[in-house]
Amino acid sequence: MLVNSPALADFGTIEGLSATWRKRSHGRLSYTVTCCDPRVLPDQFLGGFGMKVSEVRNAGGRASEALRSLICVDHVLGVGAVIVIHHTDCGLTHLRNDFLHSSLTQKAPDNAAEIAKMDFLEILDLKASVIEDMKILKDSPYLRKDLKVYGYVYDIKTGKLQDVQE
């Protein structure tokens, strides 16, 4: 597959880019799946491990929504590990599906049936949501079986990461 982007031209092909990137990251190309909350800065707290980390962000840092991106990236560049990070005081620990269903139905009453089926992936328990998302990634038939998946809860107040084990 040829690369059309001028920025990637030096690598020649997607395979070439992938091989170069893997070599540069010493096989440790990792992705965090984390919340789009600007208080969560994975570079700051993972940089100390010497890891090259990129990010897939969405509201809550939910794996089911990140899966499409991870599948694409894995096919192009390869993913060595995924680190799921949810955080304290997350908007999704405050928002409830019922509230959003009601609010959206007021805005778009003609879409009530569709809205009732929407799941906004509310978070009732931070550790449980990290475990649920680690399982989604580990069990996905579209990602490699040997994919390493780690999970943490990031405490906004203390800046500490709490390891979450399944």
Q: Which is nearer to Zn ion, 78 or 91 (CB)?
A: 91
Sheet containing 81-87: which strands, arranged edge to edge?
53-58, 30-35, 81-87, 148-154, 161-163
CB of 61 to Zn ion, least distance (A): 7
CA dist 65 → 132, 133, 155 (Å): 13, 10, 22
CB of 86 to Zn ion, least distance (A): 7
35 marked as binding residue: yes
Q: Which is nearer to Zn ion, 80 or 154 (CB)?
A: 154
Q: Decide: is 90 part of the binding site for Zn ion (CB under 5 A).
A: yes
Please give the Cα distance from 70 to 54 (Å, whole number): 11
104 sits in which H/E element: helix 97-107
Question: In the range 29-58, which residues lie near Zn ion by CB under 5 A?
Answer: 35, 37
By CB under 5 A, name the binding residues for Zn ion.
Answer: 35, 37, 90
Residues annotated as binding site for Zn(2+)? 35, 37, 87, 90
